[in-house]
Amino acid sequence: MDIRSDFHTHTNLSSCAADEVTAQALIDGLCGGSDGLRVLGISNHLWDSDVEGGSEWYAPQNVKHVLSLRKELESVDTHGARVLVGAEVEFSSDCRVAVTAEHAALFDYLLITANHVHMKNFIIPASMTDPDEVRDFIVKRFLAACDAELPVKCGICHPFFPMSFPSSENEILSGISDEQYGECFEKAKAKSKSIELHSSVFGPHLPHNNRIGAGDEYVRMIGIAKETGCTFHIGSDVHKPFALPGIKLREFAEFMGITEYQMTDF
Ligand SMILES: [Zn+2]
Ligand SMILES: [Zn+2]
Nearest Cα residue to 201 out of 169, 243, 165: 169
* Contact assessment for residue 85 and residue 108, using Cβ atoms and an 8 Å cutoff: yes
Q: Which ligand is nearest to the CA of 114?
A: 1
Q: Could you give the count of Cα atoms lying within 13 Å of 125 in the half-sphere of its Cβ? A: 6
**What is residue 124's DSSP assignment?**
B
Q: Give the Å distance between the CA of 118 and the centre of ligand 1.
A: 10
Cβ burial, residue 64 (10 Å; 0-12/13-18/19+): exposed
pTM to 2 decimal places:
0.95
Give the Cα separation of 169 and 229 in Å (integer). 26
Q: Give the Å distance between the CA of 194 and the centre of ligand 2.
A: 15
In order along its 266 residues, the chain shows pLDDT tens digits of 568 999 999 999 999 999 999 999 999 999 998 889 999 999 999 999 999 999 999 999 999 999 999 999 999 999 999 999 999 999 999 999 999 999 999 999 999 999 999 999 999 999 999 999 999 999 999 999 999 999 999 999 999 999 999 889 989 999 999 999 999 999 999 999 999 999 988 855 555 555 544 568 999 999 999 999 999 999 999 999 999 899 989 988 998 999 999 999 99
Q: Give the Å distance between the CA of 115 and the centre of ligand 2.
A: 11
Nearest Cα residue to 155 out of 43, 48, 5: 43
Which three-class secondary structure state does DSSP give residue 5? strand
Residue type for position 20: E
Q: Give the Å distance between the CA of 158 and the centre of ligand 1.
A: 7
Domain ranges in the chain are 5-262
Q: Phi/psi at 66 (nearest 5 deg)?
A: -70, -35
Q: Give the Å distance between the CA of 181 and the centre of ligand 1.
A: 20
pLDDT of residue 3: 85
Q: Give the Å distance between the CA of 12 and the centre of ligand 2.
A: 12
Q: Give the Å distance between the CA of 88 and the centre of ligand 2.
A: 6
Span 5-262 CATH architecture: Alpha-Beta Barrel (3.20)
pLDDT of residue 213: 47
Beta-bridge mates of residue 44: 87
Q: Give the DSSP H/E element, type plus range, for residue 66.
A: helix 63-73
pLDDT of residue 190: 98
Q: Give the Å distance between the CA of 137 and the centre of ligand 1.
A: 16
Q: What is the distance in angstroms between the CA of the first residue and the CA of the last residue of the chain?
A: 18
- The angle, 0 to 180 degrees and rounded to 10, between the axes of the packed helices 23-31 and 63-73 is 60
Q: Give the Å distance between the CA of 116 and the centre of ligand 1.
A: 6
The Cβ of residue 34 has, within 10 Å, a number of other Cβ atoms equal to: 4
Give the Cα separation of 157 and 126 in Å (integer). 22
